[in-house]
Amino acid sequence: MSASPAPRPHTAVIGLGAMGLPMARRLAAHLPLSVYDIAPARRALLASAGGTDAASPAEAARDADVVLLAVRDQSQVDGALFGENGAAETLRPGSTVILTSTVGPEAARATAERLAENGILTVDAPVSGGPVRAGDGDLLIVVGAEDKALDLARPVLDLLASTLTIVGPRPGDGQALKAINQLLAGVHIAAAAEAIALARGLGLAPGTVVESLRHGAAGSFMFGDRGPRMVETYESDVAPEVKSRLDIFVKDMGIVTGIAKDAHVPVPLASAAQQLYLLGERAGLAAHDDSSVVTVLSPKSTPAQNGEDR
Protein backbone atom coordinates (compact mmCIF):
# COMPACT_ATOMS: atom_id res chain seq x y z
CA MET A 1 0.00 0.00 0.00
CA SER A 2 2.92 2.36 0.63
CA ALA A 3 4.52 4.47 -2.03
CA SER A 4 8.06 3.48 -2.84
CA PRO A 5 10.32 6.21 -1.45
CA ALA A 6 12.85 7.95 -3.63
CA PRO A 7 16.22 6.77 -2.33
CA ARG A 8 17.60 10.31 -2.47
CA PRO A 9 14.59 12.64 -2.24
CA HIS A 10 15.19 16.24 -3.10
CA THR A 11 14.93 17.85 0.33
CA ALA A 12 14.40 21.39 1.57
CA VAL A 13 15.34 22.47 5.09
CA ILE A 14 13.57 25.59 6.35
CA GLY A 15 15.04 27.07 9.50
CA LEU A 16 18.79 26.95 10.13
CA GLY A 17 18.92 27.56 13.86
CA ALA A 18 20.68 25.58 16.56
CA MET A 19 19.07 22.35 15.35
CA GLY A 20 18.28 23.12 11.72
CA LEU A 21 21.85 24.01 10.75
CA PRO A 22 23.51 20.75 11.87
CA MET A 23 20.62 18.69 10.46
CA ALA A 24 20.96 20.49 7.10
CA ARG A 25 24.73 20.00 7.06
CA ARG A 26 24.30 16.29 7.59
CA LEU A 27 21.58 15.98 4.93
CA ALA A 28 23.65 18.01 2.42
CA ALA A 29 26.30 15.30 2.42
CA HIS A 30 23.76 12.68 1.29
CA LEU A 31 20.84 14.31 -0.53
CA PRO A 32 20.13 17.10 -3.02
CA LEU A 33 19.30 19.97 -0.68
CA SER A 34 17.83 23.47 -0.74
CA VAL A 35 17.84 25.59 2.38
CA TYR A 36 16.12 28.71 3.63
CA ASP A 37 16.47 30.80 6.74
CA ILE A 38 15.05 34.24 7.39
CA ALA A 39 18.66 35.34 8.10
CA PRO A 40 20.83 35.30 4.92
CA ALA A 41 23.95 34.85 7.06
CA ARG A 42 22.61 31.50 8.30
CA ARG A 43 21.94 30.36 4.73
CA ALA A 44 25.52 31.25 3.76
CA LEU A 45 26.77 28.84 6.41
CA LEU A 46 25.38 26.00 4.29
CA ALA A 47 26.95 26.99 0.98
CA SER A 48 30.23 25.21 1.63
CA ALA A 49 28.37 22.08 2.73
CA GLY A 50 26.60 21.82 -0.64
CA GLY A 51 23.12 23.17 0.09
CA THR A 52 21.43 25.47 -2.42
CA ASP A 53 20.55 28.84 -0.95
CA ALA A 54 16.91 29.78 -1.61
CA ALA A 55 15.40 33.26 -1.30
CA SER A 56 12.11 32.09 0.24
CA PRO A 57 10.42 28.97 1.62
CA ALA A 58 8.48 28.77 -1.65
CA GLU A 59 11.69 28.72 -3.68
CA ALA A 60 13.34 26.18 -1.39
CA ALA A 61 10.29 23.90 -1.69
CA ARG A 62 9.79 24.25 -5.46
CA ASP A 63 11.53 21.01 -6.48
CA ALA A 64 11.36 19.29 -3.11
CA ASP A 65 10.00 15.82 -2.42
CA VAL A 66 10.42 16.43 1.29
CA VAL A 67 10.40 19.68 3.27
CA LEU A 68 11.93 19.52 6.75
CA LEU A 69 10.80 22.35 9.03
CA ALA A 70 13.21 23.22 11.85
CA VAL A 71 11.79 26.49 13.08
CA ARG A 72 11.18 27.64 16.62
CA ASP A 73 7.44 27.56 17.18
CA GLN A 74 4.02 27.29 15.61
CA SER A 75 3.90 30.90 14.43
CA GLN A 76 7.11 30.30 12.47
CA VAL A 77 5.67 27.03 11.14
CA ASP A 78 2.62 28.92 9.90
CA GLY A 79 4.78 31.63 8.33
CA ALA A 80 7.12 29.18 6.59
CA LEU A 81 4.28 27.09 5.16
CA PHE A 82 1.32 29.41 4.66
CA GLY A 83 2.75 32.95 4.78
CA GLU A 84 3.72 35.05 1.78
CA ASN A 85 6.13 33.02 -0.38
CA GLY A 86 5.47 30.08 1.96
CA ALA A 87 6.35 26.53 1.02
CA ALA A 88 2.70 25.58 0.47
CA GLU A 89 2.66 27.82 -2.62
CA THR A 90 5.05 25.53 -4.51
CA LEU A 91 4.88 22.10 -2.84
CA ARG A 92 3.46 19.43 -5.14
CA PRO A 93 0.63 17.11 -4.11
CA GLY A 94 2.19 13.90 -2.84
CA SER A 95 5.17 15.64 -1.30
CA THR A 96 5.84 15.41 2.44
CA VAL A 97 6.45 17.93 5.22
CA ILE A 98 8.46 16.78 8.25
CA LEU A 99 7.65 18.89 11.31
CA THR A 100 10.62 18.64 13.72
CA SER A 101 9.64 21.52 16.02
CA THR A 102 7.93 21.01 19.37
CA VAL A 103 4.60 22.76 18.86
CA GLY A 104 2.05 20.58 20.69
CA PRO A 105 -0.41 17.99 19.38
CA GLU A 106 -3.21 20.38 18.33
CA ALA A 107 -0.90 22.61 16.31
CA ALA A 108 0.56 19.58 14.52
CA ARG A 109 -2.91 18.25 13.72
CA ALA A 110 -4.07 21.64 12.43
CA THR A 111 -0.99 21.98 10.23
CA ALA A 112 -1.47 18.50 8.80
CA GLU A 113 -5.12 19.16 8.01
CA ARG A 114 -4.30 22.38 6.20
CA LEU A 115 -1.53 20.71 4.16
CA ALA A 116 -3.83 17.79 3.34
CA GLU A 117 -6.15 20.22 1.55
CA ASN A 118 -3.38 20.51 -1.05
CA GLY A 119 -2.63 16.79 -1.06
CA ILE A 120 0.56 17.26 0.97
CA LEU A 121 1.43 14.65 3.61
CA THR A 122 2.72 15.46 7.11
CA VAL A 123 5.14 13.59 9.35
CA ASP A 124 4.93 14.86 12.92
CA ALA A 125 8.48 14.24 14.11
CA PRO A 126 9.66 16.35 17.07
CA VAL A 127 13.34 15.76 17.78
CA SER A 128 15.42 15.54 20.95
CA GLY A 129 19.14 15.39 21.52
CA GLY A 130 20.65 18.81 20.88
CA PRO A 131 22.86 20.29 18.15
CA VAL A 132 25.84 17.93 18.44
CA ARG A 133 23.72 14.82 18.10
CA ALA A 134 21.79 16.49 15.28
CA GLY A 135 25.01 16.76 13.29
CA ASP A 136 25.92 13.15 14.02
CA GLY A 137 22.58 11.64 12.97
CA ASP A 138 22.11 10.62 16.60
CA LEU A 139 18.78 12.27 17.39
CA LEU A 140 15.80 10.73 19.14
CA ILE A 141 12.74 11.31 17.00
CA VAL A 142 9.18 10.45 18.04
CA VAL A 143 6.82 10.15 15.12
CA GLY A 144 3.13 10.50 14.47
CA ALA A 145 2.41 9.71 10.80
CA GLU A 146 0.53 7.38 8.54
CA ASP A 147 2.65 4.73 6.82
CA LYS A 148 2.59 6.41 3.41
CA ALA A 149 3.96 9.68 4.74
CA LEU A 150 6.51 7.91 6.89
CA ASP A 151 7.80 5.88 3.95
CA LEU A 152 8.37 9.05 1.92
CA ALA A 153 10.18 10.71 4.81
CA ARG A 154 12.26 7.67 5.79
CA PRO A 155 15.43 8.44 3.80
CA VAL A 156 15.60 11.82 5.56
CA LEU A 157 14.66 10.61 9.04
CA ASP A 158 17.08 7.70 8.88
CA LEU A 159 19.96 10.13 8.25
CA LEU A 160 19.05 12.12 11.37
CA ALA A 161 17.82 9.63 13.97
CA SER A 162 19.56 6.91 15.91
CA THR A 163 16.24 6.13 17.62
CA LEU A 164 12.95 6.52 15.79
CA THR A 165 9.86 5.78 17.87
CA ILE A 166 6.60 5.46 15.96
CA VAL A 167 4.00 6.63 18.48
CA GLY A 168 0.91 6.42 16.31
CA PRO A 169 -0.54 7.02 12.86
CA ARG A 170 -1.69 10.59 13.33
CA PRO A 171 0.20 13.89 13.24
CA GLY A 172 0.07 15.03 16.89
CA ASP A 173 0.94 11.59 18.28
CA GLY A 174 4.65 12.41 18.18
CA GLN A 175 4.00 15.79 19.77
CA ALA A 176 2.05 14.16 22.61
CA LEU A 177 4.97 11.92 23.58
CA LYS A 178 7.45 14.77 23.13
CA ALA A 179 5.37 16.93 25.48
CA ILE A 180 5.54 14.24 28.16
CA ASN A 181 9.30 13.99 27.59
CA GLN A 182 9.57 17.75 28.09
CA LEU A 183 7.37 17.67 31.20
CA LEU A 184 9.80 15.24 32.82
CA ALA A 185 12.95 16.92 31.50
CA GLY A 186 11.79 20.40 32.52
CA VAL A 187 10.68 19.30 35.99
CA HIS A 188 13.89 17.32 36.54
CA ILE A 189 16.08 20.33 35.67
CA ALA A 190 14.06 22.52 38.03
CA ALA A 191 14.29 19.84 40.76
CA ALA A 192 18.06 19.71 40.31
CA ALA A 193 18.10 23.49 40.72
CA GLU A 194 16.11 23.26 43.97
CA ALA A 195 18.38 20.53 45.30
CA ILE A 196 21.56 22.51 44.56
CA ALA A 197 20.10 25.78 45.84
CA LEU A 198 19.03 24.06 49.07
CA ALA A 199 22.44 22.39 49.43
CA ARG A 200 24.03 25.86 49.32
CA GLY A 201 21.50 27.18 51.80
CA LEU A 202 22.32 24.33 54.21
CA GLY A 203 26.05 24.88 53.87
CA LEU A 204 26.75 21.68 51.93
CA ALA A 205 29.18 21.76 49.00
CA PRO A 206 26.93 21.41 45.91
CA GLY A 207 29.50 19.40 43.95
CA THR A 208 29.71 16.81 46.71
CA VAL A 209 25.92 16.60 46.87
CA VAL A 210 25.66 15.96 43.12
CA GLU A 211 28.29 13.22 43.20
CA SER A 212 26.78 11.61 46.32
CA LEU A 213 23.22 11.46 44.97
CA ARG A 214 23.36 11.20 41.18
CA HIS A 215 23.61 7.41 41.01
CA GLY A 216 21.02 6.59 43.69
CA ALA A 217 17.27 6.85 44.19
CA ALA A 218 17.51 10.64 43.79
CA GLY A 219 19.16 10.41 40.39
CA SER A 220 17.88 11.55 37.03
CA PHE A 221 19.47 12.04 33.64
CA MET A 222 19.09 15.79 34.13
CA PHE A 223 20.52 15.81 37.67
CA GLY A 224 23.61 14.05 36.30
CA ASP A 225 23.83 16.27 33.20
CA ARG A 226 22.72 19.73 34.35
CA GLY A 227 23.73 19.30 38.02
CA PRO A 228 27.48 19.59 37.35
CA ARG A 229 26.85 22.63 35.14
CA MET A 230 24.85 24.26 37.94
CA VAL A 231 27.77 23.60 40.29
CA GLU A 232 30.09 25.14 37.68
CA THR A 233 27.86 28.23 37.68
CA TYR A 234 28.93 28.89 41.26
CA GLU A 235 32.50 27.66 41.08
CA SER A 236 33.61 29.35 37.85
CA ASP A 237 33.71 32.98 36.79
CA VAL A 238 32.63 31.96 33.30
CA ALA A 239 29.00 31.00 32.61
CA PRO A 240 28.59 27.41 31.36
CA GLU A 241 28.51 26.93 27.59
CA VAL A 242 24.98 27.19 26.19
CA LYS A 243 24.00 23.65 25.28
CA SER A 244 20.25 24.24 25.46
CA ARG A 245 18.66 27.67 25.86
CA LEU A 246 16.52 28.39 28.89
CA ASP A 247 13.71 29.89 26.82
CA ILE A 248 13.13 26.54 25.09
CA PHE A 249 11.59 25.43 28.38
CA VAL A 250 9.55 28.62 28.62
CA LYS A 251 7.98 27.54 25.33
CA ASP A 252 7.78 23.82 26.05
CA MET A 253 6.41 24.05 29.60
CA GLY A 254 3.80 26.39 28.10
CA ILE A 255 2.83 23.62 25.69
CA VAL A 256 2.79 21.04 28.50
CA THR A 257 0.59 23.05 30.84
CA GLY A 258 -1.66 24.06 27.92
CA ILE A 259 -2.37 20.54 26.74
CA ALA A 260 -2.75 19.33 30.33
CA LYS A 261 -5.37 22.02 30.92
CA ASP A 262 -7.17 21.00 27.73
CA ALA A 263 -7.10 17.36 28.91
CA HIS A 264 -8.24 18.41 32.41
CA VAL A 265 -5.18 16.79 34.03
CA PRO A 266 -3.60 18.70 36.95
CA VAL A 267 0.17 19.13 36.59
CA PRO A 268 1.19 21.22 39.62
CA LEU A 269 4.92 20.45 39.36
CA ALA A 270 5.08 21.25 35.64
CA SER A 271 3.26 24.50 36.40
CA ALA A 272 5.74 25.38 39.14
CA ALA A 273 8.61 24.59 36.76
CA GLN A 274 7.01 26.78 34.09
CA GLN A 275 6.97 29.69 36.53
CA LEU A 276 10.65 29.12 37.36
CA TYR A 277 11.63 29.28 33.69
CA LEU A 278 9.55 32.42 33.29
CA LEU A 279 11.36 33.92 36.28
CA GLY A 280 14.64 32.97 34.62
CA GLU A 281 13.57 34.68 31.39
CA ARG A 282 12.60 37.81 33.35
CA ALA A 283 16.02 37.72 35.02
CA GLY A 284 17.66 38.01 31.60
CA LEU A 285 18.57 34.35 31.19
CA ALA A 286 16.48 33.54 28.08
CA ALA A 287 19.51 32.85 25.87
CA HIS A 288 21.62 31.34 28.67
CA ASP A 289 22.03 27.64 29.28
CA ASP A 290 18.93 26.20 30.95
CA SER A 291 21.07 25.16 33.95
CA SER A 292 21.27 28.87 34.83
CA VAL A 293 17.73 28.59 36.24
CA VAL A 294 19.43 27.60 39.52
CA THR A 295 20.48 31.23 40.00
CA VAL A 296 16.82 32.24 40.27
CA LEU A 297 16.67 30.19 43.48
CA SER A 298 20.17 30.89 44.78
CA PRO A 299 21.85 34.00 43.32
CA LYS A 300 25.50 33.56 42.48
CA SER A 301 26.42 36.46 44.78
CA THR A 302 24.96 34.67 47.82
CA PRO A 303 27.72 32.71 49.52
CA ALA A 304 26.91 29.28 50.86
CA GLN A 305 25.73 29.76 54.42
CA ASN A 306 28.52 27.91 56.15
CA GLY A 307 31.23 28.02 53.52
CA GLU A 308 32.00 25.57 50.74
CA ASP A 309 34.48 23.39 52.57
CA ARG A 310 32.20 20.93 54.29
* Closer residue to a copy of itself in complex, CB, 63/225: 225
Q: How many residues does the structure list for the chain?
A: 310
Q: Is 261 a catalytic residue?
A: no
Residue in 201, 239, 245, 283 binding a copy of itself, rule: CB under 8 A:
201
With contacts defined by CB under 8 A, name the span among 9-17, 38-46, 59-67, 188-196 that binds a copy of itself: 188-196
DSSP of 181-195: HHHHHHHHHHHHHHH
Contact 102, 255 (CB under 8 A): yes
CA separation, residue 235 to residues 54, 141, 172, 308 (Å): 45, 35, 42, 10
Binding flag, residue 223, a copy of itself (CB under 8 A)? yes
With contacts defined by CB under 8 A, name the span among 62-70, 110-118, 149-157, 206-214 that binds a copy of itself: 206-214
> CB 235: neighbour CB atoms within 10 A?
12
Residue in 98, 192, 250, 285 binding a copy of itself, rule: CB under 8 A:
192
- Name the minimum Å distance from CB 10 to a copy of itself: 32
Taking the C-alpha atoms of residue 89 and residue 178, their distance in angstroms, rounded to an integer, is: 29
Contact 171, 144 (CB under 8 A): yes
- Give Cβ neighbours of residue 160 (< 8 Å, ≥ 6 apart): 23, 26, 27, 127, 134, 137, 139, 141
- Of the candidates 159, 186, 295, 164, the one whose C-alpha atom is nearest the C-alpha of residue 244 is 186
96 beta partners: 66, 121
Residue in 8, 202, 235, 282 binding a copy of itself, rule: CB under 8 A:
202
Binding flag, residue 275, a copy of itself (CB under 8 A)? yes
Binding flag, residue 110, a copy of itself (CB under 8 A)? no
With contacts defined by CB under 8 A, name the span among 43-51, 118-126, 151-159, 266-274 that binds a copy of itself: 266-274
Residue in 270, 288, 289, 292 binding a copy of itself, rule: CB under 8 A:
270
Contact 11, 32 (CB under 8 A): yes
Binding flag, residue 13, a copy of itself (CB under 8 A)? no
Taking the C-alpha atoms of residue 270 and residue 13, their distance in angstroms, rounded to an integer, is: 32
Q: Which of residues 151-180 bind a copy of itself (CB under 8 A)?
A: 165, 167-168, 173, 176-177, 179-180
- Interface residues with a copy of itself (CB under 8 A)? 105, 128-129, 140, 142, 165, 167-168, 173, 176-177, 179-185, 187-188, 190-192, 194-195, 197-204, 208-209, 212-213, 216-223, 225, 256, 259-260, 263-273, 275-276, 297-298, 305, 310
Active-site residue list: 178
